[in-house]
Amino acid sequence: MKRLMIILTVLLAATGCGKKIPEPKNVTAATIQNITDLKAATTIQSARTVEEDFQVRTFVKGNSVFVECYLNDYSFSGDDSKQLAIVSVYIDNQKKMDMHTAAFILKDIPHGLHKIKLEVLNDSGQKTGLNKEIEVHITASM
């Protein structure tokens, strides 16, 4: 009896593992084409997002803003063949500093809503056309 149950279980599992998956009966060819088009559009959009030349991440803690910059065509160190980059930092349309590193902290920002602009310059100080604007809200100081 045990052997019969084991054999039936194995046969049932083997027949359930077929490669042909039945299609839903209420799906039309037009719906399948729309799904295919949607997948293609999503793939193109995600490829554009990945290929963005300048990306910025920020994190606010107290009255400090932690900034990370990601550049495709520029580098902050002379280790690779890319051009060196400098990031000019503007807070509320006033230039505060030039940064030579990909990650940095903006400290002692007063309470309130502030616009931070980051502009990428090449190693000779010329604008590259890459810039980002971020709004941060400072609510507490530590």
Which of 65, 68, 71 has its CA nearest to residue 115? 65
* pLDDT range class, residue 9, cuts 50, 70, 90: confident
Find out whether 55 and 102 touch, Cβ atoms under 8 Å: no
Average pLDDT over residues 64-81: 86
Residue 41 has what pLDDT? Answer: 46
Can you give the pTM of this predicted structure?
0.61
Phi, psi of 130 (to 5 degrees): -95, 120
Which of 42, 43, 72 has its CA nearest to residue 55? 72
| Cβ-count burial 29-66 (b if 16+ within 10 Å, e if not) | eeeeeeeeeeeeeeeeeeeeeeeeebebeeebeebbbe
pLDDT above 70: residue 142: no
